[in-house]
């Protein structure tokens, strides 16, 4: 039996300045939200289905402020207006892909984000039924919780006429992330917006899309071992203080990474990706074989390699798909030989779109 729960969020948004046509906008929003519409909206669809992509957060030196969306991997949410669900509530009617997820919306990433979005839209007269299909494993370092949140926030918004902007949808997703893995936007922002995203500020929240050139090839080599690395546990391993030399180094490499993204310089991107001296050295020893995997990737020709998010997935970059397959195989072998872990390699492009509808039924 589905469990219904109405979540009252304390957050409240602020309007962000409009961008000029010739510039990529910085999306600004206060890290809180409340109802954003004064009159209740009518649904424009009876049901919708969405997809939200996996994400690679941190990208080496960009801890908590850089992330990218990955094409072809992610979560699905089906959402429908349901008269059997109490008005203003969400019912999670079906979960698939993981046995560890709660059907209670208060404790489910998709449920929290869906309810937060409903509150922002001032939806009080309609109940919604939600089905979540997990395409990403939990604790994989590929933004599993963010994919669920994004896949839920976007269809709620679309169901009622797409009145919210991406900044507000990111806030709804952040409400979910804060409950599960901490208040960080480097997964949820690219999951919703697509591409590379720079989190310029958290208070107020400012998001800067980084446009990778359309005419340049970029492939992520993602190697996921059979090992779970919960985000909270991996964050607990981080140092509480860092020395000035490492601070300066990481800042310079994060700047180099951003410049490489904007220039479409995959070689430069890889070098910066591999350069973290603060976070990766603390987390890599907690993932069996990770250091050997990074070495194997570089020796096989990858432009760079690091831990994806909190891990345990290792991510490398290259500009040729066939070469990527060779590198992925070497990384799999290193995980098995040095970490005694079986793993799977995937070669994926950058997802430039982010969370989107893939099906809908009009009213």
Helices marked H in 264-320: 266-273, 280-283, 290-299
Strands (E), the chain: 4-5, 27-29, 45-57, 66-81, 90-96, 128-133, 196-202, 205-210, 219-225, 304-307, 314-318, 343-349, 356-362
What is the rounded CA–CA span in Å between residue 220 and residue 240?
31
* Average pLDDT of the segment spanning 345-360: 97
Residue-level pLDDT at 226: 94
Residue-level pLDDT at 138: 87
Compare 345 and 39 and report the one with higher pLDDT. 345
* Average pLDDT of the segment spanning 125-151: 94
Residue-level pLDDT at 37: 58
Mean pLDDT of the residues in the chain: 90
Residue-level pLDDT at 342: 97
N-terminal to C-terminal alpha carbon distance within the chain: 27
Residue-level pLDDT at 14: 32
Compare 37 and 253 and report the one with higher pLDDT. 253
What is the rounded CA–CA span in Å between residue 60 and residue 70?
16
* Average pLDDT of the segment spanning 73-93: 95
Give the model confidence (pLDDT) of 225-239 as tens digits.
999 887 778 888 899
- pLDDT > 90? residue 99: no
% of the chain surpassing 70 pLDDT: 90
% of the chain surpassing 90 pLDDT: 78
Give the model confidence (pLDDT) of 242-283 as tens digits.
999 999 999 999 999 999 999 999 999 999 999 999 999 999
pLDDT band of residue 20 (cuts 50, 70, 90) is very low
What is the rounded CA–CA span in Å between residue 279 and residue 56?
15
Lowest mean pLDDT among 27-31, 99-103, 333-337: 27-31
Nearby residues of 20 by Cβ (< 8 Å), 6 or more positions away: none
Residue-level pLDDT at 6: 38
Q: Which residues pair with 15 in a beta bridge?
A: none
Residue-level pLDDT at 97: 85
**How are beta strands 219-225 and 304-307 bridged, if at all?**
unpaired
- pLDDT > 60? residue 150: yes
Residue-level pLDDT at 1: 38
Compare 178 and 7 and report the one with higher pLDDT. 178
Give the model confidence (pLDDT) of 40-68 as tens digits.
899 999 999 999 999 999 999 999 999 99
- pLDDT > 50? residue 3: no
Residue-level pLDDT at 33: 52
pLDDT band of residue 17 (cuts 50, 70, 90) is very low
- pLDDT > 60? residue 358: yes
DSSP classification of residue 273: H
- 94, two tokens: 């079906």
What's the pTM value of the predicted model, to 2 decimals? 0.88
- pLDDT > 80? residue 16: no
Chain-centroid distance, C-alpha 213:
21
Residue-level pLDDT at 40: 80
């Amino acid at each position: 039996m589905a469990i219904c729960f109405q979540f009252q969020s304390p957050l409240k948004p602020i309007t962000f300045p409009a961008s000029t046509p010739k510039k990529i906008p910085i999306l600004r929003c206060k890290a809180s939200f409340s109802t954003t519409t004064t009159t209740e909206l009518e649904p424009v669809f009876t049901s919708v289905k969405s997809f939200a992509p996996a994400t690679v957060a941190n990208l080496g030196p960009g801890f908590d402020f850089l992330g990218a969306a990955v094409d072809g991997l992610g979560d699905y949410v089906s959402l429908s207006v349901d008269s059997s669900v109490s008005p203003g509530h969400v019912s999670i009617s079906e979960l698939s892909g993981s046995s560890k997820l709660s059907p209670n919306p208060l404790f489910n990433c998709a449920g929290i984000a869906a309810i937060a979005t409903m509150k922002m839209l001032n939806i009080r007269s309609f109940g919604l039924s939600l089905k979540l299909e997990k395409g990403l494993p939990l604790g994989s370092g590929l933004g599993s919780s963010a994919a669920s949140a994004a896949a839920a926030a976007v269809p709620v918004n679309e169901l009622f006429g797409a009145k919210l902007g991406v900044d507000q949808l990111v806030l709804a997703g952040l409400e979910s992330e804060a409950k599960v893995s901490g208040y960080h936007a480097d997964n949820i922002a690219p999951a919703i917006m697509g591409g590379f995203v720079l989190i310029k500020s958290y208070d107020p929240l400012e998001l800067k899309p980084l446009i990778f050139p359309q005419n340049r090839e970029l492939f992520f080599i993602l190697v996921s071992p059979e090992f779970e690395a919960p985000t909270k546990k991996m964050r607990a391993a981080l140092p509480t203080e860092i020395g000035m030399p490492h601070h300066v180094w990481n800042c310079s490499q994060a700047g180099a990474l951003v410049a490489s993204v904007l220039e479409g310089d995959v070689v430069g991107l890889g070098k910066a990706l591999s350069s973290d001296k603060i976070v990766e050295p603390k987390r890599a020893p907690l993932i069996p074989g990770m250091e050997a995997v990074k070495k194997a990737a570089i020796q096989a020709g990858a432009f760079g390699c690091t831990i994806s998010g909190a891990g345990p997935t290792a991510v490398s970059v290259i500009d040729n798909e066939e070469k990527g397959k060779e590198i992925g195989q070497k990384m799999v072998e290193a995980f098995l030989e040095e970490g005694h872990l079986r793993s799977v390699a995937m070669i994926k492009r950058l997802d430039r779109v982010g969370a989107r509808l893939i099906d809908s039924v009009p009213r």
